[in-house]
């Protein structure tokens, strides 16, 4: 395996736009049925990392692009003492762009998004937990769904699948108007307050299916309607509410890459007093199917890779690229969305591991212009919908949970980390 790696197409933007109010760090947390053994976890992290050369890296600045270089330092786990998804400072983390944290029964993996997406992080987490429980003396049948420590990584795991699936596609230019923005009072001290709502997964999936939509479509429409009820129903703001929905491209383009391989579908609607929820649901479902189709996603891949390959861009010095990337992030990204909702789906572990786990949650970092973001996943029959916010106002979040509960008849279990001035 190489000692250095190019950043994949999606990764290139994250070093340029990262700051305290936009950490680019997401979390996948596993709550176990017993307290964590720190010594065993430390050993497991060291052994698991050897299986993932693309994560055992540090970031270097090149003349034209950043690149990853092999990190020889041992990784060091730590007990959690800060808010989730806090800035990941390499000098304080032995150069690593991931961290493994523990607190009581919980193991949290936090990842800088330039390393990998949620799908890649889940694979690392499975290997970590497999090794952790092996060290605790448990026999585990991996059932073919765990990348085992000691295995030699396959070359396909290191692919930049954006480049692999690039092909020139003519894309019609569509002018999009700025979206509605959520604003509020910053938390003091600054940080991320997390509010979790846990629904019975099978029942809520069935409810969405009975309405003729997917779970992601149902919850996206619910969030749009909750934003309308919280902020727009009195006619003060008319901008469309736009939800950014990351899409795992591995579902459409065969790939075993452990790098980033996702695209974002922006799904929006302008809601008014005459808009019923079922009508909104049908509109969101239709738009989601169009924007998350293979053809639409191919356009996104081709557009992004074409820009990277452009000689007018390729040989521009990195410091100038960073200026352009920051502007593009705001103009083509942040200004065009209201909130992000990322669904990592049903996370499967081998049966011998699953019996040790109570719950899994996903936390997506907020940004300056999206001070509330949402991550979700399911494990067993527990669907955990987690809102991360940097503002005091929480009306939208509780309105969302109430709306889903009233429509589905399913009451969520709600809990919080209590960061900031209460919930």
**Which of 304 and 388 is assigned the larger pLDDT?**
388
Q: Quick one: 379 and 244 in the same domain? A: yes
Query: Is residue 177 one of the residues assigned to a domain?
Result: no
In this structure, are residues 288 and 216 in contact, taking their beta carbons and an 8 Å threshold? Answer: yes
What per-residue confidence (pLDDT) applies to 237?
65
Q: Is residue 314 located within the same domain as residue 371?
A: yes
DSSP secondary structure letters along 79-117: E--S-TT----GGGTTT-SEEEEEETTEEEEEEETTT--
Is 268 found in the same domain as 199? yes
Within a domain: 353: no
Residue 383: name the closest of 180, 225, 236, 216 by CA: 216
Torsion angle defined by CA atoms of residues 144, 148, 150 and 154, in that order, rounded to the nearest 10 degrees: 70
Mean pLDDT value of segment 153-158: 94
Residues 123, 40 within the same domain? yes
**pLDDT band at 312; cut points 50, 70, 90:** low
Q: Is the dihedral of CA 300, 304, 310, 312 positive or negative?
A: positive
Residue 3's closest CA among 51, 71, 70, 65?
70
Domain count of the fold of the chain: 2
pLDDT of 103-119, one tens digit each?
Answer: 999 999 999 999 999 99
**Do 94 and 208 belong together in one domain?**
no
Residue-range definition of the domain harbouring residue 93: 4-136+152-164
pLDDT at position 326 is 80
Residue 423's pLDDT is 43
- For the residues 242-267, what does the mean pLDDT come to? 97
Mean pLDDT score of the chain, rounded to an integer? 93
Same domain for 41 and 115, yes or no, is yes
- 64-88: pLDDT as tens digits: 888 999 999 999 999 999 999 999 9
Same domain, 231 and 299: yes
In this structure, is residue 172 part of a structural domain? no
Collapsed DSSP state (helix, strand, coil) of residue 33: coil
Whether 321 is in a domain gets the answer: yes
Q: What pLDDT does 421 receive?
A: 55
213 and 111 co-located in one domain: no
Whether 410 has a pLDDT exceeding 60, the answer reads: yes
Higher pLDDT, residue 172 or 378: 378
Q: Identify whether 312 is part of a domain.
A: yes
- Shared domain for 57 and 200, answered yes or no, is no
pLDDT (0 to 100) of residue 394: 95
| 3-state DSSP assignment of residue 53 | coil
Give the global pTM: 0.95
pLDDT of residue 47: 97
Cross-strand bridge partners of residue 361: 29
**What CATH number corresponds to the domain at position 86?**
3.30.559.10
Is 55 within the bounds of a domain?
yes
Which pLDDT band, with edges at 50, 70 and 90, does 172 fall under? Answer: low
pLDDT for 328: 76
More confident residue, 64 or 124: 124
Q: Considering the domain boundaries, does residue 37 fall inside one?
A: yes
Same domain, 202 and 115: no
* CATH code assigned at 279: 3.30.559.30
Residue 234: the pLDDT is 65
Q: Does 218 score more than 70 pLDDT? A: yes
**More confidently predicted of 320 and 277:** 277
- Residues 11-31 pLDDT 10s: 999 999 999 999 999 999 999
> In the chain, what percentage of residues exceed pLDDT 90?
80
What mean pLDDT do residues 183-198 have? 95
Each residue of 34-68: pLDDT tens digit? 999 999 999 999 999 999 999 999 999 888 888 99
pLDDT in tens, 328-386: 777 777 888 999 999 999 999 999 999 999 999 999 999 999 999 999 999 999 999 99
Answer yes or no: do 232 and 130 share one domain: no
Q: Are 129 and 28 within one domain?
A: yes
Closest CA to 28 of 116, 92, 93, 96: 116
């Amino acid at each position: 395996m190489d000692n250095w790696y190019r950043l994949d197409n999606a990764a290139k933007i994250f070093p340029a736009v990262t700051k305290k109010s936009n950490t680019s760090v997401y979390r996948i947390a596993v709550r176990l049925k017993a307290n964590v053994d720190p010594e065993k976890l430390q050993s497991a992290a060291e052994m698991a990392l050897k299986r993932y050369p693309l994560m055992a890296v540090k970031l270097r600045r090149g003349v034209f692009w950043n690149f990853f270089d092999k990190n020889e330092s041992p990784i060091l786990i730590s007990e959690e003492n800060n808010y989730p998804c806090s800035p990941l400072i390499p000098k304080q983390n032995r150069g690593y762009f991931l961290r493994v944290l523990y607190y009581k029964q919980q193991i949290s993996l936090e990842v800088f998004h330039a390393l990998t997406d949620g799908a890649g992080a889940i694979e690392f987490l499975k290997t970590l937990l497999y090794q952790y429980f092996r060290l605790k003396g448990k026999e585990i049948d991996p059932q073919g769904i765990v990348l085992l420590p000691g295995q030699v990584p396959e070359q396909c795991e290191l692919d930049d699948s954006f480049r692999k699936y690039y092909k020139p596609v003519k894309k019609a230019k569509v002018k999009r108007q700025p979206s509605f923005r959520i604003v509020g009072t910053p938390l003091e001290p600054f940080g991320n307050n997390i509010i979790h709502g846990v629904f019975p997964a099978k029942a809520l999936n069935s409810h969405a299916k009975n309405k003729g939509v997917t779970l992601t479509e149902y919850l996206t429409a619910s969030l749009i309607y909750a934003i309308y009820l919280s902020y727009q129903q009195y006619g003060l703001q008319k901008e469309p509410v736009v939800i950014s929905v990351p899409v795992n491209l591995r579902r459409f383009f065969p790939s075993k890459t452990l790098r980033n391989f996702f695209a974002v579908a922006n799904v929006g609607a302008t809601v008014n007093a005459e808009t019923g929820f079922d009508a909104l649901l049908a509109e969101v479902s239709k738009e989601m199917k169009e924007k998350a189709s293979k053809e639409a996603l191919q356009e996104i891949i081709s557009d992004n890779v074409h820009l990277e390959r452009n000689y007018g861009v390729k040989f521009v010095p990195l410091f100038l690229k960073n200026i352009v990337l920051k502007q593009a992030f705001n103009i083509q990204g942040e200004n065009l969305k209201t909130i992000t909702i990322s669904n990592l789906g049903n996370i499967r572990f081998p049966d011998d591991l699953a019996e040790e786990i109570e719950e899994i949650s996903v936390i997506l970092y907020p940004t300056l212009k999206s001070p509330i973001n949402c991550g979700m996943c399911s494990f067993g029959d527990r669907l955990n919908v987690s809102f991360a916010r940097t503002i005091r106002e929480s009306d939208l979040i509780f309105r969302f949970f109430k709306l889903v509960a009233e429509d589905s008849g399913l009451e969520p279990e709600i809990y919080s980390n209590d960061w900031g001035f209460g919930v």
